[in-house]
Chain A
Amino acid sequence: MTLLTIFLVLLLVLTAFAVERTKDLLSAVIVFAAFSLVLSVLWLILKAPDVALTEAAVGAGITTVILLAVLAKTERYER
């Protein structure tokens, strides 16, 4: 269990850095959805299923869709 937690935390840091470093904003949005998914599993391990459920619905679902809608109205690449 602790090994899985360490792996997930490392993955969380990695995805957070990837979101910040990516110039392609579409990839950044998709990696951000992965970040939310990892965070949601972490909440579940930390015995907060309530927060995990909300994180999965809002973070991985609705935030991604809304950011994609914004992206469709602006440009794909960061200048």
Chain B
Amino acid sequence: MNDRLLYTIVKLMLPVIVVYGIFIILHGHVTPGGGFSGGAILGAALILYGLTFGQDASLKLFPESVSKRLESGGVLVYIGIGLIGLVLGGAFLTNAGVFPLGDPGNILSGGMIPLLMIAIGIKVGSTMMTLFNALLEDE
């Protein structure tokens, strides 16, 4: 586990992968992709870090308690946003005039969809990390 080439390449690539994942999540409502794809890319970046620098370093950067909370929090945010529509007299996930619609094609548009995308992205990314940690755990 002392490979300088691997360390250097991963240090160069990690910021690019993370920024790409965030880009996919934030543009989920105007371009292909969205919460799941972007979250999977973010999760892949975290797993790459864990594979390269060892599980101890990855648990230090992203402890299991944090990933568990983010995982549940993403779902709760999604359900909470959905319930706003239910409370205001529509179906689940109805936009009852709460979220501004904006101009189509802009990043700041689409009502609640960007918020849902961010929630899904955080959930999927931390789920991948939790899965990986659970798999590599010593019995």
Contacts and interface: CB of A to CB of B under 8 A. Distances in A.
Contacts of B136: 69
B132 A58 contact: no
Interface stretch (B33-41, B78-86, B94-102): B33-41
B131 interface: yes
Contacts, number: 39
A62 B127 CA distance: 12
A57 B135 contact: no
A50 B37 contact: yes
Interface residues of A, number: 13
B132 A65 contact: yes
Nearest to A59: B40
Most A CB contacts (10 A, CB to CB) among B37, B47, B131 go to B37
B74 interface: no
A74 B18 CA distance: 31
B43 A62 contact: yes
Contact of B44 (A50, A57, A70): A57
Nearest to B43: A62
A10 interface: no
Contacts of A52: 32
A54 B34 CA distance: 9
A66 to B, nearest CB: 6
A28 to B, nearest CB: 18
16 contacts: A50-B32, A50-B37, A53-B33, A54-B37, A57-B41, A58-B40, A61-B40, A61-B44, A62-B40, A62-B44, A65-B44, A65-B132, A66-B132, A69-B135, A69-B136, A70-B135
Interface of B: 24, 32-34, 36-37, 40-41, 43-44, 47, 51, 128, 131-132, 135-136
Given A54-B36, A61-B40, A70-B135, 10 more contacts: A50-B33, A53-B37, A57-B37, A61-B41, A62-B40, A62-B43, A62-B44, A62-B47, A65-B132, A69-B132
